Structure 1
């Protein structure tokens, strides 16, 4: 492979903001919920690179074939691998594609083919486009994807912040993370936060039923969170993490009283059993996604309630995990049910692709 922009490429990043930026001249795109992917094509050679340098080509053979038909002979395209279903984007199904067995990968490629959404062009032919302004890169991207086959999409783009705000609200039910904002004059700067992203955020009161030690062994790394269903069963819904070193140490002392006799009668008692963990379906067990990480956990008596900030719920779990806002001694654990969570109606993906022409 011999391209003007060679792998690995560290994708350009965005800074999280709480409200949609409305500075004059900004351009807006939907924020897709999938695997960030930079596609390198040099004739018959195609490589799908991830944001962490993990090659994705072997996991998505159907995309390699599809992109070979959709893209020019020599180019580098930044985009997102997504799993489109009748009810929106499905990240859980997308994750299943990262399977170590080639036979399983081929089976899933046929049963649940992925799609690719392109949003930037880094190289075309012998030209490195990364120093060109985004508006020029976008025009070139539109030109090469004008007749793209099904499952290869050009991301919608608008200069109207009101349209972007409508996307942010209306298409959340389709599984979108939020909205991106970028300057039309910006070059492509690898691994730098030169764009902006606004994401959906909510809070929920969850039962703290366990924790994991931080990898340094000196503090709490994450809290295991649960919610009750209508039958009174406490389900694991995710974790709250990203604590400072000082806060990790403080949590050890705050949680200590709840560790006494915690496993006796614990609703997640089975997770302590090695055989129950073998399938990797329980938070205390290993899975092919854990890459050898220690996922052992410490039970806590389920008496503590935490208010947690999260983005959205998917398949009964907090997508991307949560962040601790505060503990709620005024709340009873039994009151922490799924009923408190917002239900967002699904939106049609087709509506987003067709509704706004490029500015």
Structure 2
């Protein structure tokens, strides 16, 4: 239980990185691995630990090993920001492994907003990151987020070579700003990801036209991450862009109620960005 003196006197919504198209380097910024995981704010209030998702949902029971590891930390009060992740055999974080529960989870910590009664939100990242490193030390199931290189362009090369999700660049002079901010910027590695299948709003003419376009693009292996496990799938080279409407994202990052609207000839696959909901 948490006594009054152990209670953190505020709750936060996470600081979010803004997507940029191209890698860059800025003096006074750090460049971390972008994880393919589940964003979690971890509140330690005495013996009580609460893990809260980006949307404010309690995930303490879901990631109980992480909660137990945080409970063992020496600080009585602590608020950490990071991502719960699961790694494949090559050390690459995979959201699908996290969903399946087939691998041990770790909490990749990249910020500390409160420590031993001290509010750090208005301090610079130059101060907050060492506080995070000191807080978790070498605790089991906890890790500090990986810094890839001093130079941003080199960091992106490292991420691409190793197959990471991308890079998150952070301004060391910035305080913690709730919501979307230009003080954190993310550059993704450009990998395609399977997000579902659509079987609505096709007529015979549409199917015949698509068949002609698909034939020269057939290949034996998928060009995207986390392919479905169904049999009889025909894979294509990623050369076409379709317009799909959908209701929302499901918990496992798939499209809910997708509807085919047609092909786009004004966009390349590498230019596509995924919205929160609506049309992709």
Structure 2 Cα separation of the partners of residues 289 and 129 of structure 1? 33
SS of 1:57's equivalent in the other structure is: coil
Mapping of residues 113-132 of structure 1, within 5 Å:
113-132=104-123
Q: Does 1:74 align with 2:77?
A: yes
Q: CA deviation at 1:202?
A: 5.8
Contact 2:243-2:260 within 8 A present in 1 as well: no
The TM-score with structure 1 as length reference comes to: 0.55
Structure 2 Cα separation of the partners of residues 5 and 211 of structure 1? 50
Q: In the alignment, what sits opposite 1:182?
A: 170
SS of 1:86's equivalent in the other structure is: coil
Q: CA deviation at 1:171?
A: 2.0
Q: In the alignment, what sits opposite 2:145?
A: 155
Deviations 1:203-240 (A, max 9, x none): 79xxx96448xxxxxxxxxxxxx985649743699xx7
Deviations 1:312-355 (A, max 9, x none): xxxxxx9x99x96xxxxxxxxxxxxxxxxxxxxxxxxxxxxxxx
Structure 2 Cα separation of the partners of residues 29 and 160 of structure 1? 11
Deviations 1:86-125 (A, max 9, x none): 13322112123xxxxxxxxxxx5xx632111000000001
Mapping of residues 10-49 of structure 1, within 5 Å:
10-49=13-52
Q: Which has the larger radius of gyration?
A: 1
Q: CA deviation at 1:299?
A: 10
- Change in 2 beyond 3 A, CA 1:71/1:309: farther
SS of 2:44's equivalent in the other structure is: strand
Q: In the alignment, what sits opposite 2:187?
A: 198
Q: In the alignment, what sits opposite 1:267?
A: none
Contact 1:201-1:310 within 8 A present in 2 as well: no
- Change in 2 beyond 3 A, CA 1:230/1:164: closer
Q: CA deviation at 1:20?
A: 2.0
Mapping of residues 1-359 of structure 1, within 5 Å:
1=2, 2-4=6-8, 6-7=10-11, 9-70=12-73, 72-87=75-90, 88-96=92-100, 108=101, 112-149=103-140, 151-157=141-147, 158-172=149-163, 176-193=164-181, 194-201=183-190, 210-211=199-200, 230=220, 233-234=233-234, 295=257, 308-309=269-270
Structure 2 Cα separation of the partners of residues 53 and 242 of structure 1? 31
Q: CA deviation at 1:136?
A: 0.5
Q: CA deviation at 1:43?
A: 1.5
Structure 1 Cα separation of the partners of residues 243 and 112 of structure 2? 33
Q: What is the number of equivalent residue pairs in this alignment?
A: 240
Contact 1:209-1:299 within 8 A present in 2 as well: no
Contact 2:82-2:108 within 8 A present in 1 as well: yes
